[in-house]
Amino acid sequence: AQSVTQLGSHVSVSEGALVLLRCNYSSSVPPYLFWYVQYPNQGLQLLLKYTSAATLVKGINGFEAEFKKSETSFHLTKPSAHMSDAAEYFCAVSGVGYQKVTFGTGTKLQVIP
């Protein structure tokens, strides 16, 4: 069984500040891990994914995440927040393949001018 826990349902940062969205996973098999973003009135868009290659994964829009097995974490970061980053972010996990992806509860990111 696999699950992810996202710490913080709402996060506010100032424009230009560091973005850190936390995700911890639980998996009985080596996981695939994902971050998705959902802008208002839009579908889920893949930001980045970890599939057992490099532990530091770079995604779109300047986001990156680091897989830390010892901490069972996959936190999402961006050095400098932009107003357009305001959205809801979902951490997700699956086993090999994409048959079933299990999502976290989501974190809404607010960027303050």
Partner 1 sequence: EPEVTQTPSHQVTQMGQEVILRCVPISNHLYFYWYRQILGQKVEFLVSFYNNEISEKSEIFDDQFSVERPDGSNFTLKIRSTKLEDSAMYFCASSERQGNTNEKLFFGSGTQLSVL
Q: Which residues bind partner 1 (CB under 8 A)?
A: 32, 36, 41-46, 51-53, 90, 92, 96-106
With respect to partner 1, which residue has the nearer C-beta, 46 or 112? 46
Least distance in Å: CB of 103 to partner 1? 4
Q: d(Cα 112, Cα 83) in Å, to the nearest integer?
A: 7
- Name which of 11, 29, 9 is nearest 102 in CA terms: 29
Q: CB neighbours of 42 closer than 8 A, spacing ≥ 6?
A: none
With respect to partner 1, which residue has the nearer C-beta, 62 or 106? 106
Least distance in Å: CB of 58 to partner 1? 15
Q: d(Cα 70, Cα 11) in Å, to the nearest integer?
A: 25
Least distance in Å: CB of 79 to partner 1? 25
Tokens describing residue 22: 């936390």
Least distance in Å: CB of 14 to partner 1? 26
- Determine how many CB atoms are found less than 10 A away from the CB of residue 65: 26
With respect to partner 1, which residue has the nearer C-beta, 38 or 72? 38
